[in-house]
Structure 1
Amino acid sequence: MDFSHSPRSQDLLARLKAFMAEHIYPNEARYEEEVNSGERWKVLPLIEALKPKAKAAGLWNLFLPESELGAGLTNVEYAPLAEEMGRVMWASEVFNCSAPDTGNMETLVRYGTPEQQAQWLQPLLAGEMRSAFAMTEPAVASSDATNIEARIERDGDHYVINARKWWTSGAADPRVGVFILMGKTDPNNPDRHRQQSMILVPRHTPGIRIVRHLTVYGYDDAPHGHAEVEFTNVRVPVSHLLLGEGRGFEIAQGRLGPGRIHHCMRVIGCAERALEKMCRRTLSRVAFGRPVADQTVTRERIANARIQINQARLLVLHAAWRMDTVGNKVAAKEIAMMKVAAANMACEVIDWAIQAHGGGGMDHAMGLTHPYTYARSLRLADGPDEVHRNHVAKLELSAYR
């Protein structure tokens, strides 16, 4: 195993860091101003102005492995780039590397027909459109995806969709052009993992209704955000089905592996920046006659933060290497381990940074509260910790049965 950065990755990382220094960090305040002015669900001028600059710098669609449509990077090569983007919550979108679009684009690359790719993949790759992913449902425990109740029923040359979804990523964004929705085409199939299918649903198809915008600890994550969405007798052509009836789980496993690792890469960037803030803050503040950084508890937390960040990074790189060498399915245990470790690490490190800032740590302006909500949500998003731990344990025990 060699996790050193390739020359190509080193070059891209240097250019990405320079871009972040010139265009991202100086614009953090402007981003907040644009988000908080006027209509919440809107296109932000800053993001749209920075996208052509990222394209011109050759920092575009960096995430697609094994495809000539992106930069052609492996998962290991992409990891340090995603981590760097993750230092600022909104930066990934500037480089067309943000969720859920990355996962949806990979789905279309892997499983889409040429016609589906022409209609939706090409505009997504160009950054002209965004997308949404509709899987989780409020009425069932969606940690067991076989519980999903959404119906996708054949009616001649169309499928009719009836569903109520929530935590639908990006549903309220005006740029969203398509949903990828998971539901049941064959609810009576004795194989519970062959009941589901995935289908492409154009955003403005009649029968789609945004029920409400959802918040994560008060953050609505506008202008992309999450929503509860109702699909009532939504009709789409049969040609919009992905891969075939009963293959939804197959697609989900192909999609969620890369999606999970991208989140973990980004959240390591969040944790790194939180540690930096903690170190600077504790060196500059005095309590009980000496710098806070000289307090034993502070040093212990700084040391543990560094240890845990490095441990999580190595787990992520190992999972990426396994995905690159043996494929996502075989790397399932490493992906699950990484997912649990990275999210829990970031929660703890960011929490320590908040504590080190005292009352100021709870102020959004310090830049710690929003990353904390992101890290905490990752303990549920793309499968809760309990499911991943159970999966790791089952794979571990299988060697002894």
Structure 2
Amino acid sequence: MTESIDFEQQHNDPSFPNIWQELKWRGLVYVSTDEDALEEALSGDPITYYCGFDPTASSLHLGHLVQLLTLRRLQLAGHKPLGLVGGSTGLIGDPRQTSERVLNSREVVSEWVDTLRVQIQRFLSFDGDNAARMVNNLDWTANLSAIDLLRDIGKNFRVGTMIKKEIVAKRLNSEEGISYAEFSYQVLQGYDFLNLYRDYDCVLQTGGSDQWGNLTAGTELIRKVEGATVHAIGSPLITNSDGTKFGKSEGNAIWLNPEMTSPYAFYQFWLNTADADVIDRLKVFTFRTREEIAEFERLVEDEPFRREAQKQLAYDVNTLVHGETATRQAIAASEAVFGRGDFTELDADTLAAVVAELPSATVPTDRRDVVDLLIDTGLSASKTEARRTLSEGGVSVNNVKITDAEATITDAQILQQRYVLLKRGKKNMAAAVLEG
């Protein structure tokens, strides 16, 4: 069970005159509607704002975390958030730059709506004068007929404008093209904003900059239908300093669901942040103040080997997403992997996550000779090599040095009744997983 977020530990930076200036300093504004009007709106009485999340997967990922924390920053500034889960738009999916999405069944989408709602709710407070509210766009589209959509909403959209939207234009010029369903996605998202404006007086939508065409579909629809001016903020897509895509590891997304990306793997992801990226990550993904981040910037410059900024980043983000207990376990596991901690102190889930990140071999439970396990796990090429390494003191079991070439694993050395962690030298570690 993931712990709830301690909102008392989160504060906007008081050194900024208003939340708009802080969002800009943190690099969270790539594109927006009129800046002066936005700053005035965010500096005055509380406004209602929203961000939408489509259930196109069973979990949110790091890209969504940017928006979740932006929602939270605006709420801390006194504004009123709406967290939207796209029960209807998730049935279609917004256009991707590469190819058409695979449509999921209504049952799957409905299930994912529930799981995403739980994830979103953790980042918002539902108490106080500016309590958050959750909404589902299926509520206002489920009974909407095609005739009503075309007559009342579609008439306000111009095809010439729609095909100029960046992603739509790319797909139109691609070999695959774009379906009418995905092409019409911007109509549905614009309709969402219109409904939230009418029902909740919502005047601001946030999202990624790649969603800018969809965001402005809503601002333009409201202008045409209601004669009102509303706002939109597009956050930059986060990339690494070397140009690689942020949040991808060998093609796999970094998920917020601990069953899909373990808290240990999540912690390691942040801990491995490059020096060139870590200050920007602290700005975007933590609530550290400008003064605190300036000090971390100095440490990166003067003492990069200490990796203090990376440690703080990993601690803060992991705690936000998974809670204090899971973070403490992740830190203990990280220390143990580097030979500075005790593997016996790790819970079963954390230990399993560590093993998942290591080379491993599944062996029969009665295979106990350390020499054999060194060969099974690939740490030694032969029995002769394994015995020599043992005799020279180059092998440890669960971070305890073993020098006996005839050593065998005892029941007490089997972690969580199935794991043995072996290390050759200082860096080469592998796991033997005992089964049967």
Say which one has the larger Rg: 2
Asked if Structure 1 and Structure 2 have the same fold, meaning a TM-score greater than 0.5 normalized by the shorter chain, the answer is no
Structure-1-length-normalised TM-score: 0.27
Name the TM-score, length of structure 2 as normaliser.
Answer: 0.25
User: By percentage of residues, which structure has more helix?
Assistant: 1
